[in-house]
């Protein structure tokens, strides 16, 4: 048997390639939208991808299951649990098997047993895997978004992201019941989860890629809590805001993502089209670093730096129904396009190279900038009533402690709440260390605010400078 681990650090998303070396057949579990790495692995190992499966209808990325069914002829093994609202709607076009609790299937000599493990979502399943060529007991369990290293899947996404009322507590109680079943599994089983640290599908995921059932029984907070009422309260408390695009991912993965084949790049546009796009109020995203954008940028553009948080904030801030444009370095274009496609943002209508910024200025147009201010400068402005601080962190971070004079608007909601901010005063945007607030500063500038600053070092440096914060839990300083 062959087991390969694939990981997208930008989405904190894990997928798995399992092959039977005796029959040269393979399956991919929870595939990402870009299936080229799996096809390459199959070719390198002399295998055929004959099957694909996923643990649930994903909310945080576009699944590659349909892509593999289309391009590799893979049979779809998908959950048939949950109510009618959460059934896969595209499967009839492909060879498929719908799975209930206890169902088994084989890929070569590798057997998979289906466990219905609701809680994160009603249809969620996990898979016990046994290599029957040499064993009569399972080696491990693919847990998807059920059990992570040190955490469990959040049960509130249907309510918060998909807006299905009164489902969070129900999901939390289902999770409690599912964990009783997990406790009955043998300690020696390996645990292969669907996400690692940084995923919004839980609140405290570990950075280690795998674990064991026995280790999680000992050290996973959720498995240590055996009282249902306190477990439900603890699980629902402190969950991060689900990115806005999660609702779209649920819809896309349920109805069936568009089949892409090989990714194609957006159209290259000359810089003189920029003015036209901005005049039409079309979103133009500058993907350069925050420091480069702060120093000089085209008015009306917003800054989402192409870093590990790029896909997350693009999903928060861009509309799936409105064409958008990119300003991007040529060498980064393919990766930017890949990251957008991973969350289904296929509506990029074109891109401008970063040289367009210089060309814009050379054509006589003005460029904009914003100031990065120190904690002492920000404190002075606030002290004299010359500035308003906007804290764009998550609710749980705000609750841990915040600058007393600050107002809280989480970054994902800043654009829609910008109209509530004072226009005759300097706005200082603040987060934990200065990254998210840089995106926020660009949003407010694009909205026409005349005086916007970014707080360098965020509340971390504010606290290190001995400036006051509200009483709360100790603030993180790393």
Picking from 194, 25, 46, the residue whose alpha carbon sits closest to that of residue 117 is: 194
Confidence of residue 477 (pLDDT cuts 50, 70, 90): very low
pLDDT score of 161: 80
pTM value > 0.85 = yes
**Per-residue model confidence as pLDDT tens digits over 117-133:** 999 999 999 999 999 99
CA 286 – CA 252 distance, rounded (Å): 27
**Per-residue model confidence as pLDDT tens digits over 353-365:** 999 999 999 999 9
Do the beta carbons of residue 249 and residue 60 sit within 8 Å? yes
Confidence of residue 335 (pLDDT cuts 50, 70, 90): very high
Do the beta carbons of residue 313 and residue 342 sit within 8 Å? no
- pLDDT surpasses 50 at 298: yes
Question: Judging by DSSP bridges, how do beta strands 324-328 and 348-353 pair with one another?
Answer: parallel
Dihedrals phi, psi of 124, to nearest 5 degrees? -60, 135
Quote the CATH superfamily of domain 2-255: Ribonuclease Z/Hydroxyacylglutathione hydrolase-like (3.60.15.10)
Tokens encoding 460: 């971390």
- pLDDT surpasses 70 at 473: no
Q: How large is the C-alpha radius of gyration of the chain? A: 24
Residue 363 CB contacts under 8 Å (≥ 6 apart), including other chains: 271, 272
> How is the chain split into domains, by residue range?
2-255, 271-362, 371-464
Dihedrals phi, psi of 435, to nearest 5 degrees? -80, -55
How buried is residue 127: exposed, middle or buried, by Cβ count under 10 Å (0-12/13-18/19+)?
A: buried
Residue 448 CB contacts under 8 Å (≥ 6 apart), including other chains: none
pLDDT score of 472: 56
- pLDDT surpasses 80 at 138: yes
- pLDDT surpasses 80 at 471: no
**Per-residue model confidence as pLDDT tens digits over 446-461:** 999 999 999 999 999 9
Question: Judging by DSSP bridges, how do beta strands 190-193 and 211-212 pair with one another?
Answer: antiparallel
- pLDDT surpasses 90 at 83: no
| Over residues 5-32, mean pLDDT | 97
CA 304 – CA 222 distance, rounded (Å): 35
Give the chain's mean pLDDT.
95
Q: Which residues of 362-394 are buried (b: 16+ CB within 10 A; e: fewer)?
A: eeeeeebebebbebebbbebbeeeebbbbbbbb
Ramachandran category for residue 158: left, alpha or beta (phi over 0 → left; psi -120 to 50 → alpha): alpha
- pLDDT surpasses 70 at 476: no
**Per-residue model confidence as pLDDT tens digits over 262-281:** 778 899 999 889 999 998 89
Do the beta carbons of residue 40 and residue 47 sit within 8 Å? no
- pLDDT surpasses 90 at 95: yes
CA 95 – CA 74 distance, rounded (Å): 8
CA 397 – CA 402 distance, rounded (Å): 8
Other C-beta atoms within 10 Å of 31: how many? 28
Do the beta carbons of residue 210 and residue 192 sit within 8 Å? yes
pLDDT score of 423: 87
Ramachandran category for residue 166: left, alpha or beta (phi over 0 → left; psi -120 to 50 → alpha): left
> Which of residues 219 and 475 earns the better pLDDT score?
219
Tokens encoding 222: 């959720």
CA 60 – CA 58 distance, rounded (Å): 6
Residue 166 CB contacts under 8 Å (≥ 6 apart), including other chains: 159
| Over residues 293-319, mean pLDDT | 97
Beta bridge partners of 8: 13
DSSP structure class, residue 268: B
Confirm whether 2-255 and 371-464 share one CATH topology.
no
**Per-residue model confidence as pLDDT tens digits over 381-437:** 999 999 999 999 999 899 999 999 999 999 999 999 999 999 889 999 999 999 999
- pLDDT surpasses 50 at 478: no
Tokens encoding 467: 């400036």
Confidence of residue 142 (pLDDT cuts 50, 70, 90): very high
Query: If you count them, how many residues does the chain have?
Result: 478
- pLDDT surpasses 70 at 474: no
As a CATH number, domain 271-362 is 3.40.250.10
Question: CATH top-level class for 371-464?
Answer: alpha beta
């Amino acid at each position: 048997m062959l087991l390969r681990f694939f990981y997208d650090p930008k989405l904190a998303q894990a997928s798995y390639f399992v092959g039977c070396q005796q029959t040269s057949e393979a399956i991919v579990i929870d595939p990402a939208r870009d299936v080229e790495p799996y096809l390459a692995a199959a070719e390198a190992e002399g295998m055929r991808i004959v099957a694909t499966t996923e643990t649930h209808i994903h909310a945080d990325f576009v699944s590659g299951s349909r892509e593999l069914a289309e391009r590799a002829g893979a049979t779809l093994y998908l959950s048939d649990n949950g109510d009618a609202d959460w059934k896969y709607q595209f499967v009839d076009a492909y060879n498929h098997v719908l799975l209930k609790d206890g169902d088994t299937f084989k890929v070569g000599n590798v057997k998979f047993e289906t466990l219905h493990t609701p809680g994160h979502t009603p249809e969620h399943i996990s898979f016990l895997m046994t290599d029957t060529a040499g064993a009569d007991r399972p080696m491990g369990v693919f847990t998807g978004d059920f059990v992570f290293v040190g955490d469990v899947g959040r049960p509130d996404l249907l309510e918060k992201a998909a807006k299905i009322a009164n489902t969070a507590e129900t999901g939390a109680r289902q999770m409690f019941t599912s964990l009783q079943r997990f406790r009955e599994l043998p300690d020696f089983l390996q645990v292969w989860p669907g996400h690692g640290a940084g995923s919004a599908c839980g609140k405290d995921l570990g950075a280690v890629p795998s674990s064991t059932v026995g280790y999680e029984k000992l050290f996973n907070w959720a498995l240590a809590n055996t009282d249902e009422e306190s477990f439900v309260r603890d699980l629902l408390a402190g969950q991060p805001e689900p990115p806005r695009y999660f609702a779209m991912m649920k819809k896309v993965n349920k109805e069936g993502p568009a089949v892409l084949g090989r990714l194609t790049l957006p159209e290259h546009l000359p810089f003189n089209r920029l003015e036209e796009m901005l005049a039409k109020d079309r979103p133009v995203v500058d993907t350069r670093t925050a420091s480069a954008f702060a120093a000089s940028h085209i008015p009306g553009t917003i800054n989402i730096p192409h870093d590990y948080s790029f896909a997350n904030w693009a999903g928060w801030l861009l509309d799936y129904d409105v064409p958008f444009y990119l300003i991007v370095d040529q060498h980064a274009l393919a990766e930017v396009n890949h990251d957008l496609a991973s969350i289904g943002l296929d509506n990029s209508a074109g891109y401008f190279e970063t040289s367009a910024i210089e060309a814009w200025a050379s054509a006589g147009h003005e460029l904009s900038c914003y100031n990065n201010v120190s904690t002492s400068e920000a404190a002075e402005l606030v002290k004299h009533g010359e500035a308003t601080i906007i804290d764009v962190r998550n609710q749980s971070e705000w609750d841990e402690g915040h600058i007393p004079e600050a107002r809280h608007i989480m970054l994902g909601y800043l654009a829609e709440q910008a109209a509530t901010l004072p226009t005759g005063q300097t706005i200082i945007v603040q987060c934990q260390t200065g990254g998210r607030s840089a995106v926020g500063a660009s949003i407010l500038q694009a909205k026409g605010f005349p005086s916007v600053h970014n707080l360098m070092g965020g509340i971390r440096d504010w606290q290190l400078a001995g400036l006051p914060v509200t009483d709360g839990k100790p603030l993180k300083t790393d």
